[in-house]
């Protein structure tokens, strides 16, 4: 805690970068399990197979391209957004370098489950410091605001297109893909609550003379509350 009662900047940064590294590790372990990947990793693997680049490098390039799509959507990146693009890809490649591929199915199945749980833990860690959404989450929320469609529908459409494209390029789709789709939402919601940081208390200000409250004041209060709620995307 900082002196003002809110979470310190150092704690938030540790949580952000720890979560991003762990997310890259979880993606690498899921790939090593060899039972199917998450949709965006299917795309990264498919592109990597066609280009000869490492999957971590492709992940970084795709993240940068997705970030460009923020421009017409008028989304604003934060420190967490840019860090997401770089750190996850680097951690993914490092994990693949250090972790050998298991041969036994009885090792690969627990490794798959572990990777999905770690991915959910990582999601809770890197989102709750509120340094900005990742490029893919920002694309989702940006399209939601521009189209008026629900977050769930927009997210589903994006991931179906990404998954189909990755599969067409040779990415790995399997039981792990299905298990990830089913498990990552509920698990992420659990860890988002578990790692939630306390809100910084408002500084004491002298009370202004009371008067009739304008409708605009109520609208501003509601908009501020809604903006805070939108900072953590719906992951279910």
Token code pair at residue 131: 């340094």
- The reported pLDDT for the residue numbered 211 is 47
Number of residues that make up the chain: 236
Q: CA dist 110 to 29, 44, 140, Å?
A: 10, 23, 31
pLDDT along the chain (236 residues), means of 10: 66 96 98 97 98 98 96 91 96 97 95 97 93 91 91 90 97 96 91 84 51 40 37 39
49/42 Cα distance (integer angstroms)? 11
- The reported pLDDT for the residue numbered 224 is 38
Token code pair at residue 186: 């509920």
Whether residue 30 contacts residue 112, with contact meaning beta carbons closer than 8 Å, is answered with yes
202/130 Cα distance (integer angstroms)? 17
């Amino acid at each position: 805690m900082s002196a003002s009662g809110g979470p310190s900047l150092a704690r938030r940064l540790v949580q952000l970068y720890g979560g991003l590294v762990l997310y890259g590790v979880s993606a690498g372990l899921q790939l090593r399990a060899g039972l199917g990947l998450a949709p965006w990793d299917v795309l990264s693997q498919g592109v990597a197979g066609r280009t000869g680049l490492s999957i971590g490098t492709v992940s970084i390039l795709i993240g940068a391209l997705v970030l460009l799509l923020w421009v017409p959507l008028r989304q604003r990146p934060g420190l967490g957004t840019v860090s997401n693009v770089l750190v996850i890809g680097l951690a993914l490649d490092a994990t693949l370098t250090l972790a050998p591929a298991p041969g036994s199915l009885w090792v690969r199945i627990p490794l798959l489950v572990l990777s999905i749980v770690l991915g959910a833990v990582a999601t809770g860690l890197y989102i709750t410091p509120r340094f900005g959404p990742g490029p893919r989450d920002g694309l989702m929320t940006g399209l939601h605001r521009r189209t008026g469609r629900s977050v769930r529908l927009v997210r589903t459409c994006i991931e179906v297109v990404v998954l189909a494209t990755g599969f067409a390029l040779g990415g790995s789709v399997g039981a792990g893909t299905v298990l990830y789709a089913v498990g990552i939402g509920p698990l992420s919601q659990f860890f988002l609550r578990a790692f939630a940081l306390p809100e910084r208390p408002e500084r004491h200000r002298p009370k202004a003379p009371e008067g009739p409250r304008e409708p605009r004041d109520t609208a501003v209060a509601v908009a501020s509350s809604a903006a805070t709620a939108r900072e953590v995307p719906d992951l279910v």
